[in-house]
């Protein structure tokens, strides 16, 4: 008997200190600043919903794993369900009722993830499937945004009040709701008020960048999301390709059409800083499982998400198009992966061996 | 000189500091040497000695057989005690015919071929022959017989690249050879260049070996044709085709050799061995290897007689750390090396390192599901999509795996190294390549068989035709003759008209 392990395993016999768990943790860590900011901005009801959504995701994941006979605790420990819950919560109106979070968890984890085969097998981004399914099914609570009501200020509900908002019926839509900037422009356009005019009533650039504006829980602070995104770039968890092409496309299309018709189209800058653009570009569209794996494919994908987002925002019935755009491009990801392959060493792009270069004989 | 960009690659923890500063130490002659007959790529050598034979250092023990093979010489003087089946230093752990030599401690040289006095004036064929005689193989690990690579002269290469990249973690033997024997390496390279008929020698060294770069630059100073090129630290820079791309900018077309684009690549240690064979008539009977890994009491670079048992080397390094067996014992580097089946296997020509690796160093985890992070795609130096190939292979869909390039994979292990789900990607690819090659062999066999059968059928058909033709001509000749006879008879008049044709009975017989 040999004292050490011997089998016919191929190398390498060393491994980078990487794991799925670490990756998920890094992404969640990157979300912390933006999350804390919006938790403070929207107060206890937002924190309640955030907690409910994540716990529901973990519970649904555990249930799905258990019914399939897969290991429950180790898989829960990889953090993927928690991250899905986190991202879902960040895409919900902060004062939405508890059942939105619970239903969202079922859509995201059971429907979008486990029905497709679990981690790594899903075609569509689970958080976005849930958001879109909720938005289509329950348009009223899913578009009921609140103006900022920072924690510990007079306008903010206390913890006990928050419980009745999240779990009861205390949230009265008429009295408290506010429109997101994108929503406002869309509504006004439909009433015949040009975008160039309605844009005046949206929060100014500084408020948009800092994040003091109505919006989904977690999407408001451009600066803090950018901070998290840059950190992920630095840590090489994500690459620049999808965020840059996505926002670039949105900016270029926005600027171009704003130049042509400012009455109908908002500016490229407004397109980029409003809505879920930053959150989507850095944290949603970059989801590993549902985005292309090759570099060129990622560029194409980013352009696609940016393009579809702009089209939906500008022409469709919904004010925000990021989630739809992501899902549309998710569906195209297998095709993109097939069409955009890296060039193989020693071969041309079409796969034929490189031609032998002419040689000058010495 | 300018280096060229090579895509992909990884920057593993190199862990070379354990042995980088340790000068090469000669191992005292072990009590027993075991020399497997297959220490090289190609056919095993054939023994020319028998049990009980006394041999001197450098005497031929086994001669090459076949086109790709290499001879084996006695690493020291002593007695052949046995030629028997022994566990080979191969992951299979299968036995292989091995010559067992008991050194007599005298280390007496036998008769050697005379030195080639001025190699630069020698006929290249003479150098080929000497290198072939010496049993020199690529010492970087692949162990391909070097003399065959000298034959690439026919492709008229213009650049000799000397591979001093040593991109595998842990290994420092080439580094030490370049530091301590720079002049010899440069001399060997120049001899190789003369034999190959090339005018330019590029010595590629990764920048994590600054002392070697300095030593080699000094040694090369007198020769304008020899250029030392520091290259970026990027695994797998030592891969022949990638190194060629990095230092010459030439990319080898798929399915071709670097020689097809004018470049021949040799390892630095091989250059030194060539020099010794040419200038002193010494065969390849020892090599420098690195012993390292956290599982070893001390890491060393050791000059080892071929055939030395690994157990003797471990002992020379102070044994396993704290007497605890490491998790794995690896021959070669941790990226592309292979696990050794036991301590009782010998060092062969292709062994460049023995690593005793602990659990922490290996960091082996159970494989999880692929999360499509694309890490494998961005590090693949061959521009492949490892996750997709693995998915096809998992479903035993080898045709599609082949279509997307599994055969272009060099098994460098970068993808497996980086995979956050710890999927053993290289394992999949090696499996697929093995299966595809076996299928190819079967296919070739069938084709050959088909060719033979068809050939036989064609021959039979030809024979049948020839027979029929012969019969037809014979019949025609008969007819003609019969007609002639008849005509003659007619001409002879009515008197003989009643007589039967003379040939008829014979023809019917």
Q: Is the CB of residue A287 less than 8 Å from the CB of residue A27?
A: no
Residue B507 is predicted with a pLDDT of 44
Assess whether pLDDT exceeds 50 at residue B30: yes
- Looking at the partner chain, which of A9, A119, A361 has a beta carbon nearest the beta carbon of B427? A9
Both tokens of A119, joined, read 């981690």
Both tokens of B12, joined, read 């593993």
Average pLDDT, chain B: 92
Residue B324: asked if its preceding bond is cis (omega within 30°), the reply is no
Q: What is the pLDDT of residues B338-376, one digit of tens each?
A: 999 889 999 999 999 999 999 999 999 999 999 999 999
HSE, CB side, 13 Å, CA atoms: give it for residue A16: 24
pLDDT along chain A (362 residues), means of 10: 67 92 95 94 91 96 94 89 96 92 96 94 96 93 85 79 77 62 82 81 82 87 94 95 97 96 90 91 96 95 97 89 95 95 93 80 45
Both tokens of A258, joined, read 């704003």
Residue B277 is predicted with a pLDDT of 96
Q: Is the CB of residue A201 less than 8 Å from the CB of residue A191?
A: no
**Global pTM?**
0.87
Average pLDDT, chain A: 89
ipTM of the complex: 0.88
Question: Mean pLDDT over residues B235-263, rounded?
Answer: 94
Hey, CA dihedral for A229, A235, A238, A239, is it positive or negative? Answer: positive
Q: Is the CB of residue B349 less than 8 Å from the CB of residue B284?
A: yes
CB contact A293 to B (< 8 Å): yes
Assess whether pLDDT exceeds 60 at residue B264: yes
Residues of chain B positioned with their CB less than 8 A from the CB of A238:
none
Q: What is the pLDDT of residues B447-491, one digit of tens each?
A: 999 999 999 999 999 999 999 999 999 888 888 888 888 888 777
Q: How far apart are the C-alpha atoms of B180 and B117, rounded to whole Å?
A: 24
What residue of B is the nearest CA neighbor of A295?
A: B378
pLDDT: which is higher, B54 or A356: B54
Q: Print burial letters for A256-279: b (CB count within 10 Å at least 16), e (below 16).
A: ebbeeeeeebbbbebbbbbbbbbb
Report which secondary-structure segment, H or E, holds B100. Answer: strand B95-103
Q: Nearest-CA neighbor of B61 among B27, B98, B95?
A: B98
Q: What is the pLDDT of residues B312-347, one digit of tens each?
A: 999 999 999 998 889 999 999 999 999 998 899 999
R_g (Cα) of chain A, nearest Å = 23
Q: What is the pLDDT of residues B94-114, one digit of tens each?
A: 889 999 999 999 999 999 999
What residue of B is the nearest CA neighbor of A122?
A: B371
Hey, CA dihedral for B103, B105, B111, B116, is it positive or negative? Answer: positive
Distance of CA B198 to the CA centre of its chain: 22
Q: What single DSSP character describes residue A284?
A: I
Assess whether pLDDT exceeds 90 at residue B93: no
Both tokens of B458, joined, read 């064609």
Residues of chain B positioned with their CB less than 8 A from the CB of A2:
329, 341-343
Q: Is the CB of residue A16 less than 8 Å from the CB of residue B417?
A: yes
pLDDT: which is higher, B142 or A354: A354
Residue A151 is predicted with a pLDDT of 80
Residues of chain B positioned with their CB less than 8 A from the CB of A68:
none
| Percentage of residues of chain B with pLDDT beyond 90 | 85
Paired strand residues for A195: none
Q: Print burial letters for B144-177: b (CB count within 10 Å at least 16), e (below 16).
A: bbbbbbbbbbebebbbbbbbbbbbbbbbbbbbbb
Q: How far apart are the C-alpha atoms of A331 and A304, rounded to whole Å?
A: 11
What residue of A is the nearest CA neighbor of B367?
A: A19
Residue B87, phi-psi category: left (phi > 0), alpha (psi -120 to 50), beta (remainder):
beta
- Cβ burial, residue A350 (10 Å; 0-12/13-18/19+): exposed
């Amino acid at each position: 008997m040999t004292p050490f392990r011997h089998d016919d395993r191929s190398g390498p016999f060393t491994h980078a200190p990487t794991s799925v768990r670490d990756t998920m943790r890094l992404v969640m860590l990157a979300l912390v600043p933006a999350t804390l900011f919006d938790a403070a901005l929207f107060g206890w009801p937002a924190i309640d919903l955030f907690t409910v959504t994540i716990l529901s995701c973990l519970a649904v994941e555990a249930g799905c794993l258990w019914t399939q006979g897969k290991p429950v605790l180790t898989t829960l420990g990889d953090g993927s369900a928690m991250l899905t819950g986190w991202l879902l919560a960040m895409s919900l109106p902060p004062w939405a009722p508890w059942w939105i979070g619970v239903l969202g968890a079922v859509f995201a984890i059971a429907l979008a993830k486990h029905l497709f085969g679990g981690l790594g097998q899903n075609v569509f981004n689970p958080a976005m499937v849930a958001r879109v399914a909720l938005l289509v099914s329950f348009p009223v609570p899913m578009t009921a945004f609140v103006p900022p009501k920072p924690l510990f200020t007079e306008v903010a509900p206390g913890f006990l009040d928050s419980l009745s908002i999240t779990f009861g019926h205390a949230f009265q839509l008429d009295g408290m709701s506010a429109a997101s900037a994108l929503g406002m422009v869309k509504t006004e356009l439909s009433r015949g008020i040009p975008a160039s005019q309605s844009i005046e009533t949206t929060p100014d650039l500084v408020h948009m960048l800092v994040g003091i504006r109505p919006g989904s829980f977690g999407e408001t602070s451009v600066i803090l999301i950018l901070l998290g995104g840059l950190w992920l770039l630095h840590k090489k968890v994500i690459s620049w390709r999808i965020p840059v092409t996505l926002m670039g496309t949105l900016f270029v299309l926005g600027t171009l059409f704003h130049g042509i018709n400012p009455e109908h189209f908002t500016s490229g800058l407004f397109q980029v800083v409003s809505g879920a653009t930053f959150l989507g570009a850095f944290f949603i569209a970059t989801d590993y499982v549902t985005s292309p794996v090759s570099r060129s494919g990622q560029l194409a994908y980013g352009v696609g998400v940016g393009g579809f987002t702009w089209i939906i925002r500008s022409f469709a019935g919904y004010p925000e198009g990021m989630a739809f755009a992501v899902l549309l491009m998710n569906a195209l990801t297998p095709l993109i992966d097939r069409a955009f392959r890296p060039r193989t060493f020693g071969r041309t792009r079409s796969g034929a061996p490189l031609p032998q270069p002419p040689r000058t004989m010495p | 000189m300018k280096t060229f960009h090579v895509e992909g690659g990884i920057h593993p923890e190199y862990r070379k500091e354990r042995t980088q500063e340790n000068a090469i130490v000669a191992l005292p002659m072990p009590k027993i040497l075991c020399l497997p007959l297959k220490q090289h790529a190609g056919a095993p050598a054939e023994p020319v000695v028998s049990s009980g034979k006394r041999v001197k250092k450098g005497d031929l023990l086994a001669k090459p057989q076949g086109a790709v093979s290499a001879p084996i010489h006695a690493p020291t003087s002593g007695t052949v005690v046995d030629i028997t089946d022994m566990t080979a230093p191969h992951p299979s752990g299968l036995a292989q015919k091995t010559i067992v030599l008991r050194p007599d401690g005298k280390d007496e040289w036998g008769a050697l071929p005379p030195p080639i006095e001025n190699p630069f004036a020698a006929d290249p064929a003479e150098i080929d022959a000497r290198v072939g005689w010496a049993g020199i193989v690529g010492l970087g690990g692949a162990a391909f017989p070097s003399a065959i690579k000298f034959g690439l002269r026919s492709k008229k290469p213009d650049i000799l690249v000397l591979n001093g990249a040593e991109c595998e973690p842990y290994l420092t033997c080439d580094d030490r050879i370049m530091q301590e024997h720079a002049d010899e390496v440069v001399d060997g390279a120049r001899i190789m260049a003369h034999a190959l008929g090339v005018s330019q020698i590029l010595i590629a060294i990764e920048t994590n070996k600054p002392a070697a770069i300095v030593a080699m630059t000094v040694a090369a100073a007198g020769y304008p044709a020899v250029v030392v090129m520091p290259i970026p630290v990027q695994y797998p820079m030592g891969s022949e085709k990638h190194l060629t791309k990095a230092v010459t900018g030439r990319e080898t077309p798929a399915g071709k050799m670097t020689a097809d684009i004018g470049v021949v690549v040799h390892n630095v240690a091989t250059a030194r061995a060539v020099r010794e064979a040419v200038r002193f008539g010494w065969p390849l009977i020892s090599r420098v290897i690195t012993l390292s890994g956290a599982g070893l009491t001390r890491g060393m670079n050791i000059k080892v007689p071929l055939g030395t048992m690994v157990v003797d080397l471990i002992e020379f390094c102070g044994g396993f750390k704290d007497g605890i067996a490491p998790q794995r014992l690896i021959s070669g580097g941790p990226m592309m090396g292979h696990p050794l089946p036991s301590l009782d296997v010998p060092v062969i020509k292709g062994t460049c390192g023995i690593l005793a690796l602990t659990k922490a160093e290996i960091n082996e985890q159970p494989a999880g599901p692929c999360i499509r992070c694309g890490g494998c795609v961005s590090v693949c130096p061959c521009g492949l999509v490892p996750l997709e190939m693995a998915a096809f292979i998992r479903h035993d869909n080898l045709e599609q795996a082949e279509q997307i390039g599994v055969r272009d994979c060099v098994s460098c292990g970068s993808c497996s190294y980086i995979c956050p789900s710890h999927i053993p990607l290289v394992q999949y690819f090696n499996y697929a390549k093995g299966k595809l090659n076996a299928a190819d062999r079967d296919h070739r066999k069938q084709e050959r068989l088909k060719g033979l059968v068809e050939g036989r059928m064609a021959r039979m058909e030809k024979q049948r035709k020839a027979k029929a033709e012969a019969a037809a001509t014979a019949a025609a000749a008969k007819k003609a003759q019969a007609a002639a006879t008849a005509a003659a008879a007619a001409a002879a008049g009515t008197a003989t008209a009643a007589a039967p044709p003379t040939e008829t009975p014979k023809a019917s017989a």
